[in-house]
Structure 1
Amino acid sequence: MASKASNTILKLNKLTKDDEITWETSRFDPISLTGSERMIGNSYTTSVNKKQLRLYKFEYRHYHDEDAYDYIPDFRLEFIDDRGKGEWIFPYERAISDLYDTILYKASGADEFFDSFLS
């Protein structure tokens, strides 16, 4: 299962870079956050092969001892239903953060800006 999930993440990133998959800012806030987890920025959704996916960045508390902690950033890619409820979370892969970076780049319109500004 892990290798299929890894390959899926890599393919999603490639297709996103090639503009074959587009992501939109999610209409639903993730409800899969638990405990001290809190979302950072926007979440993004897309539909591929009749499945909806959501990707978002979040942070959670990492305790050093009882009173000392840091917030650690992380990413979550998951299948969601039509109401935005999480159905299944992909296992952690570094490639998920690469996909998130690609989505942010595309959503920002940076390519269009660079082309316009440099012409």
Structure 2
Amino acid sequence: MTSGKSDRLLAATKAHIAAIESLRESGTLLINCQLGQRRSPTAALILLASLFPGREAALAEWILAEAPYVEYNRWMLSLASGDFRSVIALNRPRVPAPPGCFFELNLLGTPSCTRQCQQSLESFQT
């Protein structure tokens, strides 16, 4: 595969990351990408880190516990305002992605958020 102009058009920019971080006030949010293995979980991590600054590594681990096939998008993390150095250093999927997988993470305040999810997110506030 060769790298061309169309590849660059698909890469995240600082403006994209700023838009993700600004969504922290929006309530319910659906993040979608083709496979749900890199960009969408990375967007979720960036958003969560904007809500819980200083907890980037713990949040990354929490997402990996929910979806161990995730491999964070290093480029997106490098553009984000949080400290994602440890996440980037240890970034690799723990299991192969299942066929037809998608990433779903229920966040605090959404109708479908489970009690366990709420308790997990509340633990990041302390």
Structure number having the greater strand percentage: 1
TM-score (norm 2): 0.28
Larger radius of gyration: 1
State the structure with bigger RCO (CA 8 A, min sep 6), 1 or 2. 2
